[in-house]
Structure 1
Amino acid sequence: MANDKEALMGMGFDAARVEWALKATGNRGLQPAMDHLFEHEGQPIPDLSAVSESTSRPARDAMDVDDDEDAEALKSLGLKANDVEAKSIKCSECGKIFRNTAVAQFHAEKSGHQEFEESTDEIKPLTEEEKKAKLAELRQKMTEKRERKAIEDAKEAKISETIRRKSGKDMGAIKEDMEKRQALKDAEQKKKDKIEDARAKAAIKAQIEADKKARAEKFAREKALRHGEEIVDAPAAAPAASTSTAPASGVAGKDFKETRLQIRMSTGGQPYTTTLSSDAPLREVAEFLAGQSLSVDVETISFAQHFPRKAFSKSDFNKSLRELGLTPSAVLIATPP
């Protein structure tokens, strides 16, 4: 037993694990202990006092069949006790010879063989050369098993790495696609904002020109009054222009779903800009303005347009921006009460 323990420890096994294997296999030699070590590799070492010792009887060179326990063992192997002195037990299925019933039972558990017979062949103790050869064989088996495990671990690691890389690649493709979609969306919105800004600027420019013309007409009237001259109204071209402009604006406005508005307060200050649906009523413009300034009351605010010159009444609050000819863009003057 001491030699077996030293041999197993010399192969690199932990002392406590060697003691467990020897006790669990009933100290039946190197091979059973090695089998136990390989089968329970990686498992925690139990309390040795709780390890079953039912098969830990010392091996016998010869079997005494008069002993009740040995008789039961022989019976379990399919043998009958007799008066013949048996020096070993032979497996009828594979021909292997075993020193005692304990080793034979271990073989039966491992191989599933059930047919055994008594044998008068004596198993000679292993010579030093045989022991060295056996030890070398066990070491070779252990090395091969470790190499197989290393190969399997390497395969599993490679598979895991492949899965990880594929997952990362898929996530990268999804992220790239999302970025492209967002870029297209931003470009479309930028283009739309640019068009709306151009329309608003055009409307503002037209309003400025109308304001200049109105101021020139006012100045001309005031000058005529100061000099007692006859007041000459502006040519009818202005109403005609107004008439021609409003329908044109109305016709063009039918094609626009949204209206961009610039709202100036008659009291001065920064103008407000918003974009509403062309089908939104004028009241919604008043509500927007009330949300921007606490000084604005929806029910009392009024709107007017300088070009073409027009004042909107309360009845116009329920009309849509399209109906009022404000599409696609317009400048409104808001006057609080």
Structure 2
Amino acid sequence: MSTDRDTLLSMGFDPQRVEWALKATGNAGLQPAMDHILEHDGQPVPDLSSVSSAPSRAAPTGDDDDEDAEALRALIAKGGNVAASQAAISEQEARSIKCSLCGKIFKNTALANFHAEKSGHDQFEESTEEVKPLTEEEKKQKLQELREKLAAKRATKSVEEAKEHKANETIRRKAGKDAGQIREELKLKEAEKEAEKKKREKIEDARARAAVKAQIEADKKARAERAAREKAAREGNLVAETAPVTVASPAAAASSATAGRDYKETRLQIRMATAGAGGPYTTSLPSESTLREVAEFVAGQNISVDVESVTFTQQFPRKVFTQADWSKSLRDLGLTPSAVLIAS
């Protein structure tokens, strides 16, 4: 003969939940156990050693009459129906306990207590009706009802989980879209900054190359003039043939100096006089910077350069800068907007 435990396991319930239900209801029967499983569906199974067992008792007969009567009086006292129950006890033997509110009958006080806790009903009385065990057909019907309840509950839970998952997915996609848009905007800004930086560098390099090219042309012209003078001297025609060195007129120099005052920055290219000493070094400094700052820059690039002893030479127009010029600004020295210096 199969037990309540075997029946519940055959329905597919988790063994731990079956043990919990049977212990919590005091092995009061299949229906209380099923009710307990339904009520606590989804809750974690506690440690069974900490679960208090409801009293499990047989129908109130023989020597147990006094105890059952006392338990019944405690239930009936809630509804004030003690006199009626005592009259029923005195007339004939009670075989069950009946709920005065819903009419259900229970074979012992444990089941009545369980019903009271579950439904909130508080009016009970003794009854001579005998609780008959469920037939196989009734058991099958109750099991079918239980399965339908479980299926409906699981379907409802599945729908709720689907809705929650959809809402979470919508939130996740929106967050991902926002983050992607922010990343794209940051990339665009970085690209714009990089393009602007390259544009500035290109302009500065073009200016530097133009200044170097102009300096080279000036060096060539100066060498050609010097060679012509030397040749004329050798031929005895120094006075007649020597071509005058082109020198910027005071008006032109003043105009250049005036134009140079409009530049806030000066781009310099410093070449080392000694071959293999390093360089050339290129930098941009405020036009108000002193020549000493230029010397410190070169010393920072080349450890062989001493700030206190280094000198600078400008090839065209030819000019030598000494430490006496250290405190003068690049604008005052006529080096703006760009110049090529030779450090030695």
Give the shorter-chain TM-score range: 0.7 to 0.9
Residue 215 (structure 2) pairs with residue 203 (structure 1): no
Looking at structure 2, the residues matched to 315 and 148 of structure 1 have their Cα atoms a distance apart, in angstroms, of: 94
- Equivalent residue letter for 2:121: H
- Equivalent residue letter for 2:59: R
- Measure how far apart 1:115 and its partner are: 3.3
Of stretches 282-291 and 121-130 in structure 1, the one that deviates more from structure 2 is 121-130
**Cα shift readout 1:46-73 (whole Å, capped 9, x = no counterpart):** 345x5423x2322416798842464145
Partner residue in 2 for 1:218: 226
1:144-155 alignment, distance < 5 Å? 144-155=152-163
- Measure how far apart 1:308 and its partner are: 2.4
Instruction: Find 2:280's aligned residue among 246, 252, 271.
Output: 271
Looking at structure 2, the residues matched to 90 and 320 of structure 1 have their Cα atoms a distance apart, in angstroms, of: 112
Partner residue in 2 for 1:329: 338
Partner residue in 2 for 1:74: 73
SS state at 2:326 partner: helix
Q: Is the 8 A contact 1:27 1:58 kept in 2?
A: no
Residue 97 (structure 2) pairs with residue 101 (structure 1): no
Looking at structure 1, the residues matched to 32 and 129 of structure 2 have their Cα atoms a distance apart, in angstroms, of: 21
Q: Is the 8 A contact 2:72 2:125 kept in 1?
A: no
- Equivalent residue letter for 2:135: T
- Measure how far apart 1:109 and its partner are: 1.4
Q: Is the 8 A contact 2:266 2:285 kept in 1?
A: yes
Q: Is the 8 A contact 2:88 2:127 kept in 1?
A: no
Partner residue in 2 for 1:256: 263
Residue 289 (structure 2) pairs with residue 293 (structure 1): no
Partner residue in 1 for 2:201: 193
Looking at structure 2, the residues matched to 32 and 326 of structure 1 have their Cα atoms a distance apart, in angstroms, of: 103
Q: Is the 8 A contact 1:7 1:135 kept in 2?
A: no
Partner residue in 2 for 1:84: 88
**Cα shift readout 1:190-236 (whole Å, capped 9, x = no counterpart):** 11011101111111121112111211221122123212323466548
Q: CA distance change for structure 1 residues 256 and 58 in 2, over 3 Å: closer, same or farther?
A: farther
Looking at structure 2, the residues matched to 126 and 61 of structure 1 have their Cα atoms a distance apart, in angstroms, of: 19
Q: CA distance change for structure 1 residues 148 and 254 in 2, over 3 Å: closer, same or farther?
A: farther
Looking at structure 2, the residues matched to 259 and 235 of structure 1 have their Cα atoms a distance apart, in angstroms, of: 31
SS state at 1:67 partner: helix
Of stretches 25-34 and 197-206 in structure 1, the one that deviates more from structure 2 is 25-34
- Measure how far apart 1:44 and its partner are: 3.6
1:101-250 alignment, distance < 5 Å? 101-231=109-239, 234-235=243-244, 238-240=247-249, 244=252, 246-250=253-257
Q: CA distance change for structure 1 residues 14 and 112 in 2, over 3 Å: closer, same or farther?
A: same
Looking at structure 2, the residues matched to 250 and 70 of structure 1 have their Cα atoms a distance apart, in angstroms, of: 123
Of stretches 222-231 and 257-266 in structure 1, the one that deviates more from structure 2 is 222-231
Percent identity among equivalent residues?
Answer: 58
Looking at structure 1, the residues matched to 36 and 64 of structure 2 have their Cα atoms a distance apart, in angstroms, of: 28
Q: CA distance change for structure 1 residues 194 and 234 in 2, over 3 Å: closer, same or farther?
A: same
- Measure how far apart 1:130 and its partner are: 1.9
SS state at 1:279 partner: coil
Q: CA distance change for structure 1 residues 117 and 26 in 2, over 3 Å: closer, same or farther?
A: same
Q: Is the 8 A contact 2:60 2:68 kept in 1?
A: no
Q: CA distance change for structure 1 residues 252 and 93 in 2, over 3 Å: closer, same or farther?
A: farther
Q: Is the 8 A contact 1:63 1:100 kept in 2?
A: no
- Equivalent residue letter for 2:152: E
Cα RMSD over matched residues? Answer: 2.9
Of stretches 177-186 and 252-261 in structure 1, the one that deviates more from structure 2 is 252-261
Q: Is the 8 A contact 2:219 2:315 kept in 1?
A: yes
- Equivalent residue letter for 1:261: L
- Measure how far apart 1:149 and its partner are: 2.7
Q: Is the 8 A contact 2:228 2:242 kept in 1?
A: no
Partner residue in 1 for 2:329: 320
Partner residue in 2 for 1:46: 47
- Equivalent residue letter for 2:7: A
Looking at structure 1, the residues matched to 261 and 69 of structure 2 have their Cα atoms a distance apart, in angstroms, of: 110
Partner residue in 1 for 2:5: 5
Of stretches 268-277 and 214-223 in structure 1, the one that deviates more from structure 2 is 268-277
**Cα shift readout 1:147-175 (whole Å, capped 9, x = no counterpart):** 22333333333333333333322222222
**Cα shift readout 1:276-327 (whole Å, capped 9, x = no counterpart):** 2222211111111112222211111111212222222323211222222222
- Equivalent residue letter for 2:44: Q
Give the number of equivalent residue pairs.
331
Of stretches 219-228 and 132-141 in structure 1, the one that deviates more from structure 2 is 219-228
Q: Is the 8 A contact 1:63 1:87 kept in 2?
A: no
Q: Is the 8 A contact 2:270 2:282 kept in 1?
A: yes
SS state at 2:86 partner: coil
